[in-house]
Each structure stands twice: as structure tokens, then as C-alpha cells.
């Protein structure tokens, strides 16, 4: 088993439960479903079912924004496996992954606008340069009604795209859920070392505005 050339990706920050195993950059095992709930119970058995139990020398995990519980589940599993295997642990933003997926799937040449379902009538929102996938501004958690009045982007990608387009009454919504098997589409500079969860909102959360340096 050559786990020194393997990368395990874990993404449980949203309704999607997604894991992928790469060897020398080639996908050798993956699982993806829109689970909604039950991430904590399902994640470790799913990883164990990957080739060689998913063992890898490097682990990437989605640190948010997204579901409070989902983010915690993914980070806890990644930290435990990193410790057990002596693997390097790195993180990425759910918004950055969706931007990479949008560029790959839709071949977009305009600004990539990502809306991810949040809580309490808000959406996690960020826009990206289509050429470099660099964020054009800090991510934000914004009420849907407010965002509907402030953005004129003709195409919105992500799990919150439909809600935003419906609130505006115009534009095109393209539903995307984060997929672990698409993680290598992100530029390597979008993969960070900071393992602080980016919940996005809430009294005990790291404010997204102050987390810009981790996502940039």
C-alpha cells in the first residue's frame, strides 16, 4: 500500500456526505450522497470502505461555511485520522470548492457567484475570479432579501442559488453541492493549513469577515 502518495478528501459541511481517495492525483475511490442528516454515523464506515480503509498521507477537509454539525463532524474525523495515520491535515472553503466546480461544469467566463444555504433566512455568499478562482471579496452571511437587492449576477451557483433567484425574480440558478471528488479542481493556493471551523454565523462562530485571510 503506497499511502505516501494518497490524498483523502472529506466533505460534510452541507447536506452532502462526500469522500474521495486519490493516488498520485488519480481518483481511486469515492462516495457521494445528499444525506441531509446522519453524517456522524455514516462517515467513518464510508471511509473504511474505501481502498485500504482510505489511509492516506494527506487529508483535506471542508472547514465551512455550512452546517454547524456537519463541519464539526468532518473536522473531528479528519483530525482523528490525521493523528492516527501521521497524515498532513489541510482545509478548504466550501465556497471555493463550489466555485471550482462551477468553472469546470459550466465553463464560465464571467464572475463566478456562489450562494450556499445558511440558516435563519440567510445565504453564505462569495464571488470568484473565473480565471484564477481568487475570491473577489470576503465571504459573507447575508439575508436572502438583502442579497436579492444587492446582486445582479445573472447566474448563481450553489445550494442557495434557487432561493436567491426566486427572491429576485430573475436570473438562472444552477444547483451544486460540494463534491469531494472535485476537490483537486481547486488551485493549491485555495488549500490552507488553518483548521479553525468557519461556521459563518452564531455567537460562538468565527465571523466570516475576519476569516477572509484563511479563504483567500
What share of the chain has pLDDT > 70, as a percent? Answer: 90
Grid cell at residue 112: 463566478
Q: pTM here? A: 0.89
Tens digit of each residue's pLDDT (9 = 90 or more) over 132-182: 999 999 999 999 999 999 999 999 999 999 999 999 999 999 999 999 999
CA 90-96-100 angle, to 5 degrees, is 110
Label the pairing between strands 26-34 and 16-23.
Answer: antiparallel
Domains of the chain, residue spans: 3-93+181-215, 95-174
CATH of domain 3-93+181-215: 3.30.420.40
Task: Tell me the average pLDDT across 111-121.
Answer: 93
Tens digit of each residue's pLDDT (9 = 90 or more) over 3-22: 669 999 999 999 999 999 99
- CA neighbor of 123 nearest in space, from 69, 162, 152, 93: 162
The CATH class given to the 95-174 domain equals alpha beta
Can you list the positions of beta strands (E) in 107-206?
A: 112-117, 122-128, 140-143, 155-157, 172-174
What's residue 198's pLDDT? 83
**Rounded distance between C-alpha atoms, residue 65 and residue 140, angstroms:** 10
Are residues 68 and 19 in contact, defined by beta-carbon separation less than 8 angstroms? no
Cα of 21 vs its chain's centroid, Å: 16
* Average pLDDT across the chain, whole number: 90
Angle between helices 68-85 and 39-48 (to 10 degrees): 30
Grid cell at residue 134: 481568487
**Rounded distance between C-alpha atoms, residue 21 and residue 11, angstroms:** 12
**3-state percent breakdown (helix, strand, coil) of the chain, nearest 5:** 35, 30, 35
Amino acid at each position: 500500500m503506497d499511502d505516501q502518495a494518497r490524498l483523502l478528501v472529506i466533505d460534510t459541511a452541507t447536506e452532502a456526505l462526500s469522500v474521495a481517495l486519490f493516488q498520485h492525483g488519480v481518483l481511486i475511490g469515492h462516495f457521494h450522497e445528499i444525506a441531509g442528516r446522519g453524517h456522524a454515523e455514516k462517515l467513518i464506515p464510508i471511509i473504511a470502505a474505501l481502498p485500504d480503509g482510505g489511509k492516506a498521507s494527506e487529508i483535506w477537509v471542508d472547514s465551512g461555511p455550512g452546517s454547524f454539525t456537519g463541519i464539526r463532524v468532518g473536522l473531528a474525523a479528519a483530525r482523528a485520522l490525521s493523528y492516527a495515520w501521521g497524515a498532513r491535515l489541510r482545509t478548504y472553503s466550501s465556497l471555493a470548492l463550489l466555485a471550482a466546480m462551477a468553472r469546470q461544469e459550466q465553463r464560465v467566463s464571467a464572475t463566478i457567484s456562489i450562494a450556499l444555504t445558511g440558516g435563519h433566512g440567510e445565504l453564505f455568499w462569495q464571488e470568484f475570479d473565473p480565471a484564477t478562482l481568487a475570491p473577489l471579496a470576503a465571504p459573507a452571511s447575508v439575508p436572502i432579501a438583502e442579497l436579492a437587492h444587492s446582486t445582479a449576477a445573472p447566474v448563481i451557483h450553489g445550494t442557495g442559488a434557487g432561493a436567491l433567484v426566486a427572491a429576485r425574480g430573475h436570473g438562472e440558478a444552477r444547483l451544486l453541492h460540494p463534491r469531494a471528488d472535485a476537490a483537486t479542481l481547486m488551485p493549491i493556493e485555495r488549500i490552507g493549513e488553518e483548521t479553525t471551523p468557519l461556521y459563518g454565523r452564531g455567537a460562538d462562530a468565527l465571523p466570516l469577515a475576519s476569516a477572509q485571510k484563511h479563504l483567500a
